[in-house]
Structure formats: C-alpha cells, structure tokens
Amino acid sequence: MAFTANSLSNLPVTSGALFFVDSGSNRASDGNAGRDPNVPMATIDAAVARCTANNGDIIVVMPGHDENPTSSITMDVAGVWIYGLGWGASRPTITFGALAATLSITAASCRVSNLLFDLGTVATTVTDCFNITGADVIIEDCETIPHATSQFTNIMTTTTAANRLTLRGNRFRGLGAASGTSGLVLVGCDDLDMHDNEVSGGFSTGAVTQTTAAARVSIYNNRLVNHSAFYALDVTDTTTGLIMNNLIGSGAAFAATLDVGATWPVQNFVVDVADGTVTGAVIPKTAAS
C-alpha cells in the first residue's frame, strides 16, 4: 500500500523526526533512512538507532508490521515514542523468538503505544515481554497474547530506577492454567500511575507483585485476575499511595487476594470464586470512621 500525506494526517504532531517501520513493504530495509513511509525501515530496533535523544522523535510502526526478533529490542535513546498504527489483529506485532528476547527500555522518557506481543505462533517461553530500567516511561494500549503451551515468565519486570512509570489501557494476558511466575513485577517504582489495565493469567506469585517498597503509587480502575491460588495484587508493607476502584479475582482465599501495604485502599472489589456463586465484596471490609 502506498501511503500519502493525507492518509497519515492524524499522526501525532512533533518537533522531532518521524521514522517509519513496515515489514510488509517490498522496499523495507534497515539500510533506508526511514523518513518516507513508502521506503520504510524493516525493524523497530534499527529505527531506534536513528533517533536523537530528547528530540521528540517518533517511530511510526505501520499496520500489519510483523517482526520476530531473537534478541532484544532496546530503547536506549531517551525521549523516543514507538507509535503503532492499526487495530485488532492489524496492530504491529512483535513475536519474540528466544528466551532472553525482550523489549528493553533503558533510557528515560520513552513511550510505547498500541503494539501486539503475540506468542500465538511460537512455542517458546520468553522471560520478560517488557524489561524497564528507565524513568518516566509510558506503556499504553499494548496487548500480550500467550501461546497455547508457552508464555512470558513475567510479562513485565522493572528496577528501582523505573520511577514515574505510567501503565494505562493495556491488556496483559498469560495462560489461565499453566502458570507464569508473575504478570507484572514492580521493583520499587515511586510515583507509579497504573490505571485501566487488565492483567490476567495463572501466576505462581501474583498478577501484580511489588518486591521493593515505593512511595506515592496510584493503582486504580484495573482488572486484575490470578487463576492460581496466589495474590492478584500484592504491594510491600511500607508502600504508600492510593489503591482504588480495582476489580480483583483470585483462586486464593478471600483475604489473600489483595495486600495494600501502607496505601489508602478505596472501594476495591474482590472475589475468590470463579463459578458465579458469589459476587465481589469490598476489601478491607471495615470503613474509616
């Protein structure tokens, strides 16, 4: 398909450069400059290398793009936005083909939007879909799809440097029966803003597990499900902030589905039975006086 200026008129406005990636183009090559959508680059990682730090550069990944990297895609240039076009199955698709392959975000102020991470055709267990060490990162409108027999061991792992992380509108799914370790492993993450996400699967640790304390987290309006008998949401005892309006299900006993640490919990509905015989109840049960 030939792209015209009119067909791309709704791209984000930026003072930086636009780089185009499209594996479906017969002219795609990482040797291209990537500035023309009709002469695009072939891979996202190569496009990142063309960007300038904190310049407002955007990598536009075209509908139908499909790449199967056996090594990591590394966002090591600060302030870069990977912007996927398309919807449903036409979204740009990343299928990691090796255990250690991941989307590694090491630079600050990076953003990833509207990508599909699909293991549906690869029977390979992958350690992490996302590995985030940079601060001020945004992940939005992305989705993971597991294979029938394999999945991401952890859908996301961070370090304590990943402060001010924003997760919004994502659908992070693992297998319901065959457990991964965790959905999201949040190591620290001061000022986390996590809202309107789905995290679901059978996790042997938790759907969302925080392993190091953080300050001022905001976790709200999420749908968190762990089909295994472990926490759906578990933050450390000294984490502060607000956990509000989340819908939570787990195969664990009622009191072991949600651990709010030292945060303020508001109207979180929890259910521990999946057969429809009970409905969600607010936890903790005792209201403030």
166-180: average pLDDT: 85
The per-residue pLDDT of the chain, averaged, comes to 89
Length of the chain: 289
- Per cent of the chain over pLDDT 90 is 66
Rounded Cα distance between 94 and 99, Å, is: 14
pLDDT at 12: 87
Higher pLDDT pick, 68 / 60: 60
> Residue 211 above 70 pLDDT?
yes
**Residue 181 in 3-state DSSP?**
strand
Q: What is the pLDDT of residues 33-55, one digit of tens each?
A: 999 999 999 999 999 999 999 99
The pLDDT, as a whole number, for residue 220 is 98
Q: What are phi and psi of 88, to 5 degrees?
A: 55, -140
* Average pLDDT of the residues in 196-213: 92
pLDDT at 160 over 80: yes
Encoding tokens for residue 8?
A: 């791309």
Q: Are 250 and 225 in contact (CB under 8 A)?
A: yes
Most trustworthy range by pLDDT among 6-10, 34-38, 281-285:
34-38
Per-residue confidence (pLDDT) for residue 9, from 0 to 100:
67
What is the torsion angle, in degrees rounded to the nearest 10, for the CA atoms of residue 88, residue 91, residue 95 and residue 100?
Answer: -110
Question: Do the beta carbons of residue 232 and residue 198 sit within 8 Å?
Answer: no
What confidence tier does 286 reach under pLDDT thresholds 50, 70, 90?
low
Other C-beta atoms within 10 Å of 151: how many?
Answer: 24
Percentage of the chain lying above the pLDDT 70 cut: 89
Is pLDDT above 50 for 289?
no
Q: What pTM value is reported for the model?
A: 0.92
Backbone angles phi, psi at 128, to 5 degrees: -135, 135
Q: Give the model confidence (pLDDT) of 14-28 as tens digits.
A: 999 999 999 999 999
**Whether 199 contacts 184, CB under 8 Å:** yes
Q: Which residues contact 286 (CB under 8 A, 6 or more apart)?
A: none
pLDDT of amino acid 287: 56
3-state secondary structure of 46: helix
